[in-house]
Amino acid sequence: MKDFAQLFARIDESTKTTAKVTALADYFSTAPEDDKLWTIALFSGRRPKRTITAGKLRTWAAEVAGLPDWLFEESYNIVGDLAETISLVLPPPEQTADQSLTHWIETIKQLGRLDDDARKTGIIGAWNTLPDMQRFLFTKLLTGGFRVGVSTKLMTRALAKATDQDEAALTHKLMGNWTPETTTFHALIEADDPTADLSRPYPFYLAYGLDTLDDLGEPADWNAERKWDGIRGQFILRGGEHHLWSRGEDLMTDRFPEFAQLKDYLPEGTVIDGEVLAFAKDAPLSFNALQKRIGRKTVPKKLLTEAPVILMAYDLLEQDGTDIRDQPLSDRRAALSAIIDAAPDTAPIKLSQSVVFQTWDDLAAERDKSRDLNAEGLMLKNKHSPYLAGRKRGDWWKWKVDPLTIDAVMIYALAGHGRRANLFTDYTFAVWNGNELTPFTKAYSGLTDKEFREITAWVRKNTLQKFGPVRQVPPEHVFEIAFEGIQASPRHKSGVALRFPRMLRWRHDKPVSEANTLDDLKQMLALYG
């Protein structure tokens, strides 16, 4: 655990990519294999499940520290992170223990099987043997909330440096449904076994946002498609079994049982990149229809009927068991079209059709039709491009329609987390409903650090009431809120919910009386919901 804590500190102390990669490569070159495996798992989002509730941890930590609950809560509100608060308020450890990262993760897993009394004894005993940084990390792992400022891509780059392997090959190895309980470092990283996991997806190719068409050259070099508003997914058919992966490496096979029939229509050794869409009457439904199925492990018959899905196929990555990602996009799409044409019309798969255009003005006009088609905009892909891994600039672009916007009044503020723990960055916004302000959304991104500091200073001077970490503030500031979609929501007082809300700008020029109304939101709901 000491070595892992030192690694975490080196990463946390630097904002430079090269420094983080070097720290990780050094660690991967010297750490024990089981610790390296758990580190890879943690840095790629495969965290242990939460062992204990945050409320019990707060109570036990306050008791050990000899603090009244209210003082611990005030400290927590200021620090903004529970594990950091606990590591700061607890007394120094009375003992020392030089145990590995794997030892402490196994301890956490065992604690999860105990009753509260035994769990409390075990957690306090661990706190009493760990110095500050190790105690902080142990508590983070207890809560299931471990995060670190390193992307999977950086971690993979460091691993490639430490093991002298190709980065792209390692990226592929790390995809899939593995955990430290189901594999070893040697089997996952060092062994060369292409059949080790037939369900393993390829790394997704991601596009950059497009600001201007000026640098794209000739329109004839580009293929355009609608950017559909669904769940990006990779459908895999190998070894007679099918698997569906999300872009976030979430295995979604059981959530969409409709795709099981594709085993009867697609060739063995097929991998398709596409979008899972709610689809009925030859047209995509809104994302709201699909959202009802997100997070469900099993889907009732009613939802299967109300929100049937298809795979809108974008690209063919593997054909007859052969990786064809290096082939030009035009060849991959031709092969994909032939596969889909051979399937019956009733199969839950369709080819994402190319948008026909001769000039960039033609394409701009097509983009303007997006909302009417339940699309987010357009995708532009160079016809000669291979299918790469990760976000690469040059060959693939997303050209989204402008977001919907509404002017709203800030009425509550909440402190952020991590480096923004001492700033109020999470806000609740309201619109006018007659002479009253009705809250309708929260947002926490879109402003500069300077603006966040200005608002924080204002919140501290103008707080009306405190509700735990939340501060009620006077309705004096208007913000333009951007969002991608709107839907009816009986759970919200306003009756609406926004998709991807964020702050577009702080409207210093607009008085509170001119903020939008709930009726304005309802009109948007009628048009775009």
Q: Are 246 and 353 in a shared domain?
A: yes
As beta bridge partners, residue 408 has: 479
Write down which residue in 377, 400, 423 finishes a domain.
Answer: 400
For range 166-175, the mean pLDDT: 76
As given in the structure block, the two tokens for residue 126 are: 């661990």
Q: Are 234 and 350 in a shared domain?
A: yes
Beta strands in 299-444 (DSSP E): 309-319, 322-323, 349-351, 375-382, 390-391, 396-400, 404-415, 424-433, 436-443
Calpha distance 137→129 (Å, rounded): 13
As given in the structure block, the two tokens for residue 151 are: 């992307």
Q: Are 339 and 384 in a shared domain?
A: yes
The pLDDT of residue 196 is above 60? no
- So what's the pLDDT on residue 197? 65
With respect to residue 152, please indicate whether it lies within any of the assigned structural domains: no
Q: How confident is the model at residue 507 (pLDDT cuts 50, 70, 90)?
A: very high
Helices 54-65, 82-89: axis angle to 10 degrees equals: 10
- CA dist 27 → 2, 7, 184 (Å): 11, 7, 17
- So what's the pLDDT on residue 295? 65
Mean of pLDDT over the chain: 89
- So what's the pLDDT on residue 120? 92
Q: Are 236 and 281 in a shared domain?
A: yes
Q: Are 226 and 349 in a shared domain?
A: yes
Q: Are 138 and 287 in a shared domain?
A: no
- So what's the pLDDT on residue 388? 94
Q: Tokens 């892992």 belong to which residue?
A: 4
CB 268 within 8 A of CB 321: yes
CATH code of the domain in which 410 resides: 2.40.50.140
Pairing outcome for strands 390-391 and 205-206:
parallel
With respect to residue 340, please indicate whether it lies within any of the assigned structural domains: yes
As given in the structure block, the two tokens for residue 242 are: 């099918």
Distance between first and last Cα of the chain:
50
Query: Exposure string (b/e) for 347-374, b if CB count within 10 Å is 16 or more?
Result: bbbbbbeebebeeeeebeebbeebbeeb
Q: Are 363 and 225 in a shared domain?
A: yes
132-154 pLDDT, tens digit each: 889 888 988 888 777 776 777 78
The pLDDT of residue 414 is above 70? yes
CATH code of the domain in which 281 resides: 3.30.470.30
For range 26-49, the mean pLDDT: 88
For range 115-134, the mean pLDDT: 90
Work out the percent of the chain whose per-residue pLDDT is above 70: 97
Q: Tokens 């295995």 belong to which residue?
A: 251
* Residue 459: count of CB within 10 angstroms of its CB: 20
Pairing outcome for strands 396-400 and 375-382:
antiparallel
429-475 pLDDT, tens digit each: 999 999 999 999 999 999 998 999 999 999 999 999 988 788 999 99
Q: How buried is residue 501: exposed, middle or buried, by Cβ count under 10 Å (0-12/13-18/19+)?
A: buried
Calpha distance 188→419 (Å, rounded): 34
Pairing outcome for strands 349-351 and 390-391:
unpaired
Q: Are 232 and 371 in a shared domain?
A: yes
- So what's the pLDDT on residue 391? 87
Q: How confident is the model at residue 75 (pLDDT cuts 50, 70, 90)?
A: confident
With respect to residue 148, please indicate whether it lies within any of the assigned structural domains: no
Count: domains in the chain = 3
The C-alpha R_g of the chain, in whole angstroms, comes to 26
Question: Whole-prediction pTM value?
Answer: 0.63
Q: How confident is the model at residue 70 (pLDDT cuts 50, 70, 90)?
A: confident
Q: Are 350 and 389 in a shared domain?
A: yes
Query: Exposure string (b/e) for 117-132, b if CB count within 10 Å is 16 or more?
Result: eebbebbeebbbbbee
Q: How confident is the model at residue 399 (pLDDT cuts 50, 70, 90)?
A: very high
For range 358-378, the mean pLDDT: 92
For range 245-264, the mean pLDDT: 86
- So what's the pLDDT on residue 194? 58
The pLDDT of residue 193 is above 60? no
Pairing outcome for strands 396-400 and 485-488:
unpaired
Q: Are 290 and 411 in a shared domain?
A: no
303-353 pLDDT, tens digit each: 888 889 999 999 999 999 999 999 999 999 999 999 999 999 999 999 999
For range 45-56, the mean pLDDT: 82
Work out the percent of the chain whose per-residue pLDDT is above 90: 51
Structural domain of 284: 205-400
Eight-state DSSP code of residue 317: E
Query: What does 149-193 look like in DSSP terms, one character per residue?
Result: S--HHHHHHHHHHHHT--HHHHHHHH-SS--TTT--HIIIII---
The pLDDT of residue 378 is above 90? yes
